[in-house]
Amino acid sequence: MSDFKKCPFCAEEIKAAAIKCKHCGEMLVLDEATSSTETQQTQQTTQRVPVKSNHTARNITAAVILLLIIGFLGMFHIVQTGSGFTLISKEHFTFSMTFTSVDQVLKQWNNRSLGDAMRGNKMLEHLGDGLKQQGYIVSKKEIRAKNRRGEALSGKEINDKILQKSQEEESQLILD
């Protein structure tokens, strides 16, 4: 008997007692009850091709999911409110102000210059209108009108009114 044999996977010479091929890395399983000549004949007739895992389908699926998430982020403003988050659709596909809060929107609205107010910021106006429609912000005019009419304010409006009173010196915190 020789001290070497051929690997059934890559056909390189390896030691007869080898359990793993040093060339291709495949595991060699030998039954001790069979002779080496029988195993060589059996291995030569039933050589199996090592299967390499193909991650292409998984990578394509991950890429499609990632593109859908990025597309979703380009279509909505995700606004942090006092009670959680709300989604406001964007007028145009953009990533500007995707993640923001009610406070940030109000600060930008209240701190804009006269020139910015005259030119207008369509995105900020749209975002303010969306938050106004959902009841997260209230204009001073609406609060005054409801107070004059004696109408009850909603829970969100009361919270905004309290917040406005507590921080009036710092900023308006409501749309004019």
- Interaxial angle between packed helices 122-133 and 102-110, expressed in degrees from 0 to 180 and rounded to the nearest 10: 130
Q: Are 149 and 107 contained in the same domain? A: yes
Q: Which of 101, 102, 103 is nearest to 171 (CA)?
A: 103
What is the domain count for the chain?
2
Q: What is the mean pLDDT of the chain?
A: 75
Asked whether residue 61 is assigned to any structural domain, the reply reads no
Q: Are 29 and 104 contained in the same domain? A: no
> In this predicted model, which residue has the larger pLDDT, 13 or 152?
13
Asked whether residue 175 is assigned to any structural domain, the reply reads no
Structure tokens at 12: 């390189």
Asked whether residue 174 is assigned to any structural domain, the reply reads no
Structure tokens at 81: 């409110």
Q: Are 9 and 86 contained in the same domain? A: no
Q: Are 159 and 81 contained in the same domain? A: yes
Q: Are 155 and 90 contained in the same domain? A: yes
Q: Are 38 and 108 contained in the same domain? A: no
- Is residue 128 scored above 80 in pLDDT? yes
- Is residue 131 scored above 50 in pLDDT? yes
Pick from 1-10, 33-42, 137-146: least confident = 33-42
Asked whether residue 140 is assigned to any structural domain, the reply reads yes
Q: Which pLDDT tens digit goes with each residue over 55-108?
A: 788 899 999 999 998 888 888 888 888 888 888 888 878 778 888 888 888 888
Q: What is the 3-state secondary structure (H, E, C) of the chain?
A: CCCEEECCCCCCEEECCCCECCCCCCECCCCCCCCHHHHHHHHHHCCCCCCCCCCHHHHHHHHHHHHHHHHHHHHEEEEEECCEEEEEECCCCCCCCCEEEHHHHHHHHHCCCHHHHHHCCHHHHHHHHHHHHCCCCCCHHHHHHHHHHCCCCCHHHHHHHHHHHHCCCCCCCCCC
Structure tokens at 22: 């040093």
Asked whether residue 84 is assigned to any structural domain, the reply reads yes
The predicted model gives 30-41 an average pLDDT of 50
Q: What's the pLDDT score for residue 9?
A: 87
Asked whether residue 69 is assigned to any structural domain, the reply reads no
Q: What's the pLDDT score for residue 163?
A: 56
Range of the structural domain that residue 37 is part of: 4-45
Q: Are 148 and 81 contained in the same domain? A: yes
Asked whether residue 71 is assigned to any structural domain, the reply reads no
Q: Which pLDDT tens digit goes with each residue over 155-171?
A: 555 556 555 554 443 34
Asked whether residue 38 is assigned to any structural domain, the reply reads yes
Q: Are 161 and 101 contained in the same domain? A: yes
pTM of this prediction? 0.46
Q: Are 100 and 30 contained in the same domain? A: no
The terminus-to-terminus CA distance of the chain in angstroms comes to: 97
